[in-house]
Amino acid sequence: MSKKEKEGKTNAMRILDKNKIPYQVVTYDCEEFIDGVHVADQLGQPYDISFKTLVTVGKSGGHYVFVLPVDKEVDLKKAARCAGEKSVEMLHVKDINAVTGYIRGGCTPVGMKKLFPTFIHESAEQFDKIIISGGQLGVQIHINPRDLAKAVNAVFADIVFQG
């Protein structure tokens, strides 16, 4: 691998490589944060395989990661139950980098500063590949959801609002 190729790798990609987990990288033009729905629309990708990564903080102070389709909302009550917490709330945008090492729009469950308890929406299990952030703006990783779960010790769970 050339030095140039190595520089283009994100922390998430390096971790996946180290664990011999296959993935594909897709890049797109992005100067600043745009939400996952707009990215999927821009790239012509179905919402049901395009996943966003949300980070929460529990009543205990612990952090939890939830990976769900871009067009869905996390159900904080279901999320708290999964995490074994009385309640969880979204991590403030200003704290994302300090907690995860990533920025808003580039947050991915792979390669955060710590391996937080991670939950992937159960719908991911029906697909051979899902799309997640690659760890920086304008970079996506296409990965098998079971491989992703293995990489971050995630559990598949019902974590979204119904309806």
- Does residue 47 or residue 4 have the better pLDDT? 47
Residues 75, 64, 77: CA angle, nearest 5 degrees: 25
The answer as to whether 98 is a domain residue is: yes
Has residue 163 been placed in a domain? no
Q: Does 84 reside within a domain?
A: yes
- Which range (32-36, 143-147, 148-152) has the least confidence? 32-36
Residue 162 confidence class, pLDDT cut points 50, 70, 90: confident
Rg, Å, the chain Cα set: 15
Is 162 contained in some domain?
Answer: no
Contact 66, 74 (CB under 8 A): yes
The pLDDT of residue 7:
53
How many Cβ atoms from other residues are within 10 Å of residue 46's Cβ? 12
Band of pLDDT at residue 33, cut at 50, 70 and 90: confident
Asked if residue 156 has pLDDT above 50, the reply is yes
For the chain, the domain total comes to 1
Do residues 27 and 37 lie in contact, with contact meaning Cβ atoms separated by under 8 Å? no
Q: Is residue 50 in some structural domain?
A: yes
**Segment 69-89, tens digit of pLDDT:** 999 999 999 999 999 999 999
d(CA 15, CA 11): 6
Query: What is the span of the domain harbouring residue 49?
Result: 3-157
The CATH number of the domain holding residue 153 is 3.90.960.10
